[in-house]
């Protein structure tokens, strides 16, 4: 092939192929022990790697140096799209420009991550809270580092290691795993767009070791539950956190469902909290019958937080009324009350309620389905899975009131125990 004098030389680094590539041939290509190439026309080839990935490449020599251009991964980038990218690169080279195009076309890690987050959230219909948590993790741990500001084609996999290792060394192993996953997915997204060849998953694999899964810590012994209820009532933090702590055992919602509650969801006259499906883990609307105790807590809180455009039931004290309470607030409050993470967590109120309600069900006359529905679990069995949350609503109203009265009786017993003088030894 003849190049353009003084501007760069186009050179195909392979024998002329007998026939151009086709989608059928690409789809039938299987990984081998070593990477191999499937050649197309005009220097374009598909690199088939042992791990099964198939990457578009175009090798060109310009200004006396050999350059390997990446056009993304198949099938995210089709054969037709790869050929278009090759032709555009050839045109730039013929015009005396860099075949890779302007550097501004390749985004920084932060820009690529924000684009990925926007696209994946829409395509996979992520809940707003899922998107927000991922965005905040990237902002907190990656975007504000030098790596976050570098263009993705200039980032080496090893540059992510100190970021993930620092999170893990701060005793936040679960967060380190999440950030590691986000980094890998962003870089794979960038590779699919032809911006980089780097996949950091292998390099980061041993940076943090997944912790052994454990059950959510919770108090289940009735005597200890009474002491916990007494401790919650004595918490000396802000009124918002006080209310959230005291309400949690009565409604036993997941911490995110509780702290992101909005006043329009709550009907205090009807004593109901209707949570829309997009805020629920299982994606289904959830109705929480409110006991007299729960209604009293919410009535006392409402004048403090239900103000105009701010409708969060539990707004964030640190950042103002435009955000809900932080995900770590309730666990932090429990620690200040003296409960270690191995004893009680905000999520543990659910386990506590599930255990004790199931122990009470035969004596009180409710069944396991009512308890599971109130926990917002989705039963895999089709018959039980069809259980409508409103079908046994009155039975569940009764259950929630009996549960609240039971908690109060345990707290009263704990208070009596605390006020009774101990006999001299």
- Give me the pLDDT at residue 216, please: 67
pLDDT at 415: 92
Provide the token pair at 278. Answer: 């997009």
Under 8 Å between Cβ of 301 and 240: yes
Give the Cα separation of 345 and 339 in Å (integer): 8
Q: What is the pLDDT of residues 45-71, one digit of tens each?
A: 999 988 788 888 888 776 666 677 878
Residue 287's pLDDT is what? Answer: 92
- DSSP-derived letter for residue 105 is G
Q: Identify the structural domains of the chain with CATH numbers, from first to last.
A: 23-101 (3.30.160.390), 109-204 (1.10.150.130), 222-419 (1.10.443.10)
Q: What is the pLDDT of residue 168?
A: 82
As beta bridge partners, residue 289 has: 272
Give the per-residue pLDDT at 185. 93
**For residue 116, what are its two tokens?**
């990925």
Q: Which of the residues are catalytic?
A: 254, 281, 347, 350, 377, 387
Instruction: Report the alpha-carbon distance of residue 115 to residue 329 in Å, rounded.
Output: 30
Helix locations, 196-291, DSSP H: 201-204, 222-233, 239-251, 255-259
Residue numbers in the chain where pLDDT is lower than 70: 1-19, 62-66, 100-104, 171, 209-216, 308-310, 318-321, 378-391, 422-425
First to last CA, the chain: 102
Residue 119: which of 192, 211, 223 has the closest Cα? 192
CA-CA distance, 254 to 257, in Å (whole number)?
5
Is this model's pTM higher than 0.85 or not?
no
Q: Which residue has the tokens 């680094």?
A: 13
CA-based nearest residue to 252, from 205, 213, 219: 219
Burial of 322 (0-12, 13-18, 19+ CB in 10 A): exposed
* 407 backbone φψ class: left, alpha, beta (φ>0; ψ -120 to 50): alpha
User: In 18-134, which ranges are E strands?
Assistant: 36-39, 44-48, 54-62, 65-74
């Amino acid at each position: 092939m003849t190049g353009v004098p003084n501007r760069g030389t186009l050179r195909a680094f392979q024998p002329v192929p007998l026939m151009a590539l086709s989608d059928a041939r690409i789809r039938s290509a299987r990984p081998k022990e070593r990477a191999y190439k499937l050649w197309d026309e005009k220097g374009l080839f598909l690199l088939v790697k042992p791990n099964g990935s198939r990457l578009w490449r175009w090798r060109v020599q310009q200004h006396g140096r050999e350059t390997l251009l990446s056009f993304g991964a198949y099938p995210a980038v089709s054969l037709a799209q790869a050929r278009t990218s090759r032709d555009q690169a050839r045109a730039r080279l013929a015009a005396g420009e860099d075949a890779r195009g302007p550097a501004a076309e390749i985004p920084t890690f932060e820009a690529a991550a924000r684009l990925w987050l926007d696209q994946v959230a829409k395509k996979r219909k992520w809940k707003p809270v899922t998107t927000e948590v991922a965005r905040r993790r990237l902002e907190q741990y990656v975007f504000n580092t030098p790596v976050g500001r570098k263009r993705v084609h200039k980032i080496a996999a090893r540059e992510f290691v100190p970021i993930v290792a620092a999170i893990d060394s701060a005793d936040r192993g679960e967060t380190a795993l999440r950030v590691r996953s986000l980094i890998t997915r962003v870089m794979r997204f960038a590779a699919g767009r032809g911006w980089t060849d780097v996949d950091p998953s292998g390099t980061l694999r041993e940076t943090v070791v997944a912790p052994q899964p454990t059950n959510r810590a919770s108090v289940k012994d009735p005597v200890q539950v009474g002491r916990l209820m007494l401790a919650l009532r004595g918490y000396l933090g802000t009124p918002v956190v006080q209310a959230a702590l005291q309400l949690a055992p009565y409604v036993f919602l997941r911490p995110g469902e509780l702290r992101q509650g909005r006043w329009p969801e709550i009907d205090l006259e009807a004593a109901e909290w209707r949570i829309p499906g997009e805020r629920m883990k299982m994606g289904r609307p959830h109705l929480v019958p409110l006991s007299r105790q729960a209604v009293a807590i919410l009535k006392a809180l409402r004048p403090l937080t239900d103000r105009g455009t701010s409708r969060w039931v539990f707004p964030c004290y640190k950042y103002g009324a435009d955000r809900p309470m932080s995900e770590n607030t309730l666990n932090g409050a429990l620690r200040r009350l003296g409960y270690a993470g191995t004893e009680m967590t905000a999520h543990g109120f659910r386990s506590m309620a599930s255990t004790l309600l199931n122990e009470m069900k035969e004596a009180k006359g409710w069944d396991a389905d009512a308890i599971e529905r109130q926990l917002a679990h989705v039963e895999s069995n089709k018959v039980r899975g069809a259980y409508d949350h409103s079908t046994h609503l009155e039975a569940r109203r009764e259950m929630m009131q009996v549960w609240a009265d039971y908690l109060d009786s345990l707290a009263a017993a704990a208070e009596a125990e605390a006020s009774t003088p101990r006999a001299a030894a």
